A and B are shown apart, each in its own frame.
Chain A
Amino acid sequence: MSNPYDRLSEQKLPSRIAESVRLEGARKQAVETGRTRLVVVAAVFACAFLVLAGRLVHLSSIGEGGSTSLANEGSGGLGLVRAEILDRNGVLLASDLGTASLYADPHRVLDAAEAANQISRVLPDIDRSELFSKLTTSKRFVWVKRHLTPRQQYVVNALGLPGIAFLEEQKRVYPQGNLVAHVVGYTGVDNRGLAGIEKHLDQRLGTAARVGSAQPPLRLSLDVRVQHVLRSQLASAMETYQAKGAVGIILDANDGQIVASVSLPDFDPHRIDQVPEENKFNRASLGVYEMGSTFKIFTVAMALELGTADLTDSYDARKPIRVARFMIRDDHAKERWLSVPEVFIYSSNIGAAKMALDVGAERQQAFLKQIGLLQRVPLEISEVGQPISPNPWRKISTMTVAFGYGIAVSPIQMASAVASLVNGGTRVMPTFVRSRDREHAVGERVVSERTSRAIRQLMRLNVVEGTGTKADVPGYLVGGKTGTAEKVGAQGYDRRALRSSFVGIFPTSAPRYVVLVMLDEPKGTKETFGFATAGWTAAPIVGQVIERASPLLGVQIDGDEKGQTAQHVGISRKGRRLASF
């Protein structure tokens, strides 16, 4: 009680208060109490009105906003929207469409038997008794049918049954159908990726609550036009040669982008439950195969790179090699000494085996590992096969791997290893996703420029003069190597069941693309004189594909006339020059 106000009031007021108290007494006391209470009540009301006024200002100036956003989210329905998948030119490969799904609330269904009757009548694929048992459960929500067509939706809606309603859902559609099915993959009924890109990049494709807020589209390295060329040529070849399956890959030799990847037979991603398992199998990336003679590309590159052989060296291919209980012989036996180019173009197993022996098992393994043939390739699809290599790596393994037996790799792996050798010698990592920064990225060096050049010359020579003549397209400088592998049957290798492949590069002077084609068990026809080997079956397909696809790929005809003359390599034997072209 020491503040100045108190002191002041004690000095001035006492006389007045004393007077009034003296004048009015106890009644005045009651009036005073009432007055104080009024002041308190007025203050409380004033506060309440101030709060109201403040809230009013707040509401009208800032607003709640909550109701609008809630209303917007409502139109998206239950389904999750995934990002679109496009090809390299922006053609739609996979997209989401809103569809209506039919559900029921059994508590609100009046007559379950009648409802089941009527619905099964308009939707014939629904079993009446099954639907009836669904409608009599104690749940509050049961699916009747997912993803109705607009017509079905109309008919069911017209029945006007209580307790039956629609829910908007998203359904994945693949406008290109079978064409890119193996790469893009497919999703389940809940729009979750189950195969291919859809499965491997499920997180990236994402799940958003409504249309418009989905992730940005994913652009693949595929080109549907080139893919179609490859697929149609392979399909017609499969029919001609009555093959069990076919694989085709077109890969950019410099940055590893896969422009086309076909595995036949394929499937329709919309009817995935009716597709046999065999068709879902991606032969291009999941299947691993003994590639046969195309492996001689690696053997020769290895020998040239490590300096154990020179283009002018030659090998004794007069007699088959006998190792333990195995016999290595040549299919097109020349029974004489063969120079390195001859070993390559006549596809001599004996020569290749001896070449690999000179290199040795350890260096051979290291080399194959360096070009990525002994480990799984990192790809953006979930179906990637693990290569099978000999373990332990014996002397006989060194010899058989030299011509592509005893080791199994996937076709995509094969194509990217060839690309790594011919593009100047830098490692190529295959990819399905288009990215611009890859175009300038240069991989680690695997062979020298000189070796790369020699391999290109040999591949060109093989097309001009060797087993791959049917792959040639005038003006595009095609190079390549055939590979005919016998499949493993019940009793070892089966001479009649072949796997014919051809790996081509073009243009040889500065390779832009690697084309790999493989046919599973082709049968010879009258036109091929009964031969089912790669030179007769797989090589022509590569030629046709290059002829049709190179304008689409932007490879100019006669693009490099000077390169053509530079590709000539001599076949020399024992220092004597035999031929030059």
Chain B
Amino acid sequence: MMKPLYIAAFLVAVTLTYGLYSMKYEVQRLESKLLTLHSQLTSEREATQVLRAEWSYLNRPERLEKLTLRHLDLTPVSVHRMAAVTRLPFRENSAQSELHKVTPAPNRTSSPNGTSPQSASETSWRLPQTTKKVR
């Protein structure tokens, strides 16, 4: 009458042993994979570090300036080519054909009560400060 119990116990033991071993090998496999990933991560990080340093080195303002002067038709923006948005002229009457009429802009600093572009209604176009200021 004890026989079925013995057989059952034996089967359980075999199953458990197999389970334990397969589990063990699975864990070992995963651990070695983790290790590889960790070392890969480290080397990737080191590579990023090198690339970032190189990027910063190649983007030195000094070098960019030299390259720009050699290869591009660009020069630093001078103050005479800049203006605030509020100084941009408005097209007052597009029906008038005097589109190319250019009125000299008022001197920027020496006229404290200078006319603002919007109030000058007799001109159709008014260019921002393109003329060099005479001192």
Evaluate contact between B49 and A175: CB separation under 8 angstroms: no
Contacts of A568 in B (CB 8 A): 112
Interface bracket on A: 35 or more
Return 9 A-B CB contacts under 8 Å, by A number: A72-B35, A76-B42, A91-B59, A97-B49, A176-B57, A177-B60, A212-B42, A232-B65, A557-B82
Q: Does B76 contact A (CB under 8 A)?
A: yes
Q: Does A186 contact B (CB under 8 A)?
A: no
Q: Give me 9 other A-B pairs in contact (C-beta within 8 A), A75-B43, A173-B53, A474-B109 excluded.
A: A68-B38, A92-B52, A97-B53, A176-B57, A210-B42, A211-B46, A469-B135, A475-B79, A565-B113
Report the separation of the CA atoms of residues A72 and B61 in the bound assembly, to the nearest whole angstrom: 38
Which of B20, B52, B79, B80 meets A95, CB within 8 Å?
A: B52
Evaluate contact between A72 and B39: CB separation under 8 angstroms: yes
Main secondary structure of the interface of B (DSSP, over half): helix
Q: Does A308 contact B (CB under 8 A)?
A: no
A224-B61 in contact given A95-B49, A211-B49 (Cβ < 8 Å):
yes
Contacts of B67 in A (CB 8 A): none
Which of A224, A469, A473, A564 meets B79, CB within 8 Å?
A: A473
Contacts of B95 in A (CB 8 A): none
Q: Does A395 contact B (CB under 8 A)?
A: no
Evaluate contact between B56 and A176: CB separation under 8 angstroms: yes
Give A92-106 as 1s and 0s: 1 = Cβ < 8 Å from B's Cβ atoms.
110111100000000
Evaluate contact between B61 and A68: CB separation under 8 angstroms: no
Evaluate contact between A474 and B60: CB separation under 8 angstroms: no
A175-B57 in contact given A60-B24, A72-B38, A557-B79 (Cβ < 8 Å):
yes
A65 nearest in chain B by CB position: B31
Q: Which of A414-440 contact B (CB under 8 A)?
A: none
Main secondary structure of the interface of A (DSSP, over half): mixed
Contacts of A469 in B (CB 8 A): 135
A211-B61 in contact given A71-B35, A72-B38, A548-B76 (Cβ < 8 Å):
no
Give B70-99 as 1s and 0s: 1 = Cβ < 8 Å from A's Cβ atoms.
000000111110111011000000000000
Q: Does B27 contact A (CB under 8 A)?
A: yes
A175-B56 in contact given A71-B35, A75-B42, A548-B76 (Cβ < 8 Å):
yes
Contacts of B41 in A (CB 8 A): 212
A176 nearest in chain B by CB position: B60
Evaluate contact between A558 and B20: CB separation under 8 angstroms: no
Report the separation of the CA atoms of residues A177 and B56 in the bound assembly, to the nearest whole angstrom: 10
Give A166-188 as 1s and 0s: 1 = Cβ < 8 Å from B's Cβ atoms.
00000001011101000000000
Q: Does B55 contact A (CB under 8 A)?
A: yes
Contacts of B113 in A (CB 8 A): 565
Q: Does B11 contact A (CB under 8 A)?
A: no
Q: Does A403 contact B (CB under 8 A)?
A: no
B48 nearest in chain A by CB position: A211
Which of B46, B60, B76, B86 meets A179, CB within 8 Å?
A: B60
Q: Does A476 contact B (CB under 8 A)?
A: yes
Evaluate contact between A475 and B56: CB separation under 8 angstroms: no
Q: Does B102 contact A (CB under 8 A)?
A: no
